[in-house]
Structure 1
């Protein structure tokens, strides 16, 4: 049985260094509208970054960085991924490869322990330790001053050229412009001291890898370069939720050795 020792909230700011596109549904597109709109908050109409987009990208990057993990699951349409089928070591069949592949078990897997896994049977799911909140726009006032013809976003016109006939295929894509800033919040469940350090280090690795990769679509064409800045780290022992302990704010704002030691003293004094 999993025991909850407490939670850590890592909050900060995500800045777009280039235009960002995270697409929305195109079911209600009208004549003359954008070919590819961005996702927006239905109440404020502001663009936002779904927590699922940030989580999914970080998980994919961490998978790539773990050389001993195999794509033991097929997701349909020829897509393969790693996902432990149980808490403990085992093996599952990837239909795309037509063979069985071993997995370390979600409790021992750096990816599934942090991001969760869907088990192969009842009672074998492993809920994620990390929770990613939706990222809300922070500097609306600044973006409203930019005249793009769109509300808080910009048009990006592109052209696909047929290599044989030179026929053009023009399209327009909506992007959140360079300079847009979003607030992010990641909540991490603290369960045991043995895996705590590894979880923090892997989360730091994900954030660093993301800055040299791309968030959202069309990353190979310059979209989605972002910078992450941590502005606060808070430790909340489980007794905080019972009302018998205080929340602790870390003096350090980096997920380094000093922060890990500071957090360990909070949860295991």
Structure 2
């Protein structure tokens, strides 16, 4: 494998679409300055317009975590993680995606904490922050039953197993039915196979749909659905010439194409 730092960019692939929230979503924000009577745990918001959004780091991090747990130790970068699940007891983490020659290492990159012999692997995948669609913002601003701007507050009660005392807490959630725009940018290097990395992104999205995004997933929060509406590629020559990106096909557009009811918002 050639040194990634020296490899030339072959193309960039843009994957765009929507993420639909199926059950209340909580991705925590800064609670400093919340007024009396507000939620104990608030969602992250854009400070300029106070609209909730989903950080790209949350999407990317959950995809990587699930893919590492699925694959375990990738002894062979081409075996799809069939070597079995491996766990680093000292670091309390899955042993996957920690080497630059593995598929996950190439897709997500290798940080200094996991570098091998002084070599780092730059990420090939950029995940943009997912912004709430204009239609969802307008619906939630006019919704009569929201508890906070564009969100709901869910009250939960923690029962002390010794004293049986009840300790209520209030958690702010983005309501089911909310939609967000998503964009993934895949950078392909000269040695890269396009289908390999597109299949990896597809794998991560499928895993995330079958799991949960954000906090309290085990209690029903954070079920999401992806709709992939457009995949385009812009080659190095396109950038040299100032040309537009060209649409390309991948099975993602069929797998993530179901139209869902939007009456929940």
TM-score, with length taken from structure 2: 0.81
1:202-217 counterparts in 2 under 5 A? 202-217=200-215
- After TM superposition, give the deviation of residue 80 of structure 1 in Å: 2.3
Q: Is the 8 A contact 1:72 1:83 kept in 2?
A: no
CA distance in 2, matches of 1:246, 1:137: 26
Structure 1 residues 115, 73: closer, same or farther in 2, change over 3 A?
farther
Deviations 1:239-258 (A, max 9, x none): 2212254421135672689x
Q: Is the 8 A contact 1:233 1:253 kept in 2?
A: no
- After TM superposition, give the deviation of residue 190 of structure 1 in Å: 1.1
User: Alignment partner for residue 27 of structure 1, among 20, 29, 32?
Assistant: 32
- 2:102 aligns with 109
Query: What count of residue pairs does the alignment treat as equivalent?
Result: 234
- 2:126 aligns with 131
More deviation in 203-212 or 187-196? 187-196
- 1:261 aligns with none
Deviations 1:88-133 (A, max 9, x none): xxxxxxxxxxxxxxx6x31x21212111111337852212100000
Secondary structure of 2:23's match? Answer: coil
CA distance in 1, matches of 2:248, 2:194: 16
Structure 1 residues 50, 66: closer, same or farther in 2, change over 3 A?
same
- 2:139 aligns with 142
More deviation in 136-145 or 191-200? 191-200
Secondary structure of 1:5's match? Answer: strand
CA distance in 1, matches of 2:18, 2:38: 31
Q: Is the 8 A contact 2:125 2:185 kept in 1?
A: yes
Secondary structure of 2:9's match? Answer: coil
Runs of 4+, deviation exceeding 6 Å: none
Deviations 1:124-146 (A, max 9, x none): 22121000000000121111222
CA distance in 2, matches of 1:181, 1:224: 13
Secondary structure of 1:177's match? Answer: coil
Q: Is the 8 A contact 1:115 1:130 kept in 2?
A: yes
1:1-269 counterparts in 2 under 5 A? 1-69=6-74, 70-71=86-87, 79-82=92-95, 105-106=99-100, 108-119=101-112, 120=115, 124-138=119-133, 139-146=136-143, 147-192=145-190, 194-243=192-241, 245-250=243-248, 254=252
TM-score, with length taken from structure 1: 0.80
CA distance in 1, matches of 2:66, 2:252: 20
Q: Is the 8 A contact 2:69 2:94 kept in 1?
A: no
RMSD of the TM alignment (CA)?
A: 2.3
- After TM superposition, give the deviation of residue 49 of structure 1 in Å: 0.3
